[in-house]
Amino acid sequence: MSEPRIWMNGKLVSQAEATLPVNSAAVFYATNVFEGLRAYWNESDEQLYCFRLDAHFARFRESMKMMRFATPYSDADLHAAVREVLTGNGFREDIHMHLVGYVVGAGMEATSPTGLYVNPRRRGRLTENDGLKCCISSWARTSDNAIPIRLKCGANYQNGRLALLQAKADGYDAPIFLNQQGRVAEGTGATFFMVRKGQLVTPPVTSDILESITRATLIEHLAQDVLGMPVVEREIARTELYVAEEAFFCGSGYEITPILSIDRFPLGDGHVGAMTQKLLTAYMNIVRGTDKRFPEWRTPVYPKTVKV
Ligand code: PMP
């Protein structure tokens, strides 16, 4: 399989050519903002669909605003970049992408010049009926008044990296963060949901979490549609996790990833929960466009082909 080319500031380049200067704020302070996006190959439509691009671009602009980036990018610029990297590589498979805006200037105060790249990557998934063994991290989620998680910048992910490496060293698959108040926040790169006493519950956006697009997809439509119940947004205490019936992470990259145990307490019967499985199946059908509802969420990448 050939190595995908990267779209960088208007050109498709090889991975080796996509380099940044060591003196840039992007390299030294990780002064960047990014989005993780997915495109899904639909075999019967012979089409590649990007999921909820407009929501990703809106959040990307919010991150650039908070970081005071001097050069904004319009939605049209961002759409063109994503389309060009996908069509230019001729993908006919599921693909994950990092859309990254960065500061080339040197020093802590640099806000310009900025650059943009889209890096397509093949990203695996767990096998069916599998899930994660999680722990509560002893690292706290950074708070909104320190390094806000609402801001999706590379530097923020050092918090996740510390927790992930500790979790792995301790024999778990992934950490769950509590925030500075000791309430449940989220995973390293995913939002947290649990089923407790039959209700689908997730922390509010004020619990030091990223304002996740997948979370919004569940809240706005999927939970009601699939389970016939609303999502309850409320603070979650640590010990609730140990007695939850089900839990999962969700995100553009994680999609819906079941959690089987937390701090070695099995959830439910220790297998993928029934509600989690239903949401997972429904989510995959919608993102891939095998379920044709919500067409406004899917951007087709290739010009429509007429089958003969
Ligand atoms: N939290 C964090 C810290 C993340 O990096 C992500 C992935 N973008 C998420 C949650 C899930 O967000 P989304 O559903 O928008 O991908």
pLDDT digits (tens, 9 = 90+) for 222-238: 999 999 999 999 999 99
Given a contact cutoff of 8 angstroms between Cβ atoms, the answer to whether 155 and 31 are in contact is yes
Atom from ligand 1 closest to the CA of residue 217 = 14
Ligand 1 pocket test, pick from 50, 186, 191 with the greatest ligand atom count within 8 Å of Cβ, gives 191
Taking CA atoms only, the protein residue closest to ligand 1 atom 2 is 189
Ligand 1 centroid to 190 CA: how many Å? 5
Amino acid, single-letter form, for residue 28: F
Residues 6+ apart with CB under 8 A from 38: 50, 51, 94, 95, 96, 97, 123, 252, 253, 255, 287
Q: For 110-136, b where at least 16 C-beta lie within 10 A, e where not — what string?
A: beeebbbbbbbeeeeeeeeeebbbbbb
- Mean of the pLDDT values across residues 280-301? 97
Q: Which value, in Å, is the radius of gyration of the alpha carbons in the chain? A: 20
Atom from ligand 1 closest to the CA of residue 216 = 14
- Mean of the pLDDT values across residues 173-195? 98
pLDDT digits (tens, 9 = 90+) for 40-90: 999 999 999 999 999 999 999 999 999 999 877 899 999 999 999 999 999
The size of the chain, in residues, is: 308
Residue (of 180, 247, 189, 174) closest to 207 by Cα position: 180
Residue (of 133, 215, 151, 138) closest to 178 by Cα position: 138
State residue 305's pLDDT score. Answer: 60
Ligand 1 centroid to 168 CA: how many Å? 20
Ligand 1 centroid to 66 CA: how many Å? 17
pTM: 0.96
State residue 308's pLDDT score. Answer: 46
Mean pLDDT rounded to a whole number for the chain: 96
Ligand 1 centroid to 112 CA: how many Å? 26
CA distance 295 to 103: 35
Atom from ligand 1 closest to the CA of residue 210 = 1
**Which amino acids bring their CB within 6 angstroms of ligand 1?**
36, 149, 186, 189-191, 210, 212-215, 251-253
